[in-house]
A and B are shown apart, each in its own frame.
Chain A
């Protein structure tokens, strides 16, 4: 089904489910594109939670919790042996 706007320029929420594989393949996967995506994501988070007039502790604590979860996922393999063994 053809849409009025070309698929490439639509945002994710406006892409129809049938067009999703085509949309994903058309994204910019060059290093410059990936760097741009990281930068956009960073500024989106920063301007929403930290760079506001009355930012609270939530802005930075979400980052710290994400850091803890990332490290937990990374050391999951060593930790699975550590459950309630009789001898460690």
Chain B
């Protein structure tokens, strides 16, 4: 069972060729480019959603921060669509791989930090010491703030990986338990099935929420630094 449980998280490859590249590129097929003023229904729905999200997400940024709009919107679209596609049966979710999430988190976080240091050096350094701290506490607090800054990309990546992986694992386990319980006691199997349904609803929400949280945090780091 152990081998079967974690086998779905292995990167898929066909005869040694990594088709994980194809799976990572698949969500882009579901977002066609609009070519006219008034498009078909799929594109219109996506345009409306993107407008809604971008207005809310970019409201707190100043002119400099808004140059990141494309990056943030494509980030939330990518993570959201990849997580939602991973809820289909038998599919592979790229965001369960820590390597990919680190690859997304570290460059973005580093970008915000370097932007802050480059354009507003004093203010960025001043973030290491909150206002009004008592004098004896200052050295320790600077160390703590540095550590909390350096841990931000790790936290971003591990948060996304752990949430999605844990959700998928729970669905696998509870589904397996439901199947195994059918032969033993049908009512318990039914209760477990209800739990499975609730869990699936939660996973849909988690898929979207994780995308949102990731993007929101990146934009917050950006806001601090522009």
Contact = CB atoms under 8 A, between A and B. Distances in A.
Interaction A to B: yes
Interface of A: 42, 46, 50-55, 59-60, 63-64, 67-68, 71-72, 74-75, 78, 81-82, 88
Contacts of B19: 74
B119 interface: no
Interface residues of B, number: 21
Interface of B: 1, 4, 7-8, 12, 14, 19, 26, 29-30, 32, 40-42, 85, 88-92, 176
B89 A51 contact: no
Given A59-B42, A67-B88, A88-B4, 17 more contacts: A46-B32, A50-B40, A51-B40, A55-B42, A60-B30, A64-B88, A68-B89, A68-B91, A71-B92, A72-B90, A74-B14, A74-B19, A75-B8, A75-B90, A78-B4, A81-B4, A88-B176
A88 B34 CA distance: 49
Nearest to A78: B7
A81 B4 CA distance: 9
B85 A67 contact: yes
Contacts of A68: 88-91
A86 to B, nearest CB: 10
A63 B88 CA distance: 12
Nearest to A56: B41
Nearest to B10: A78
B38 to A, nearest CB: 10
Contacts of A46: 32
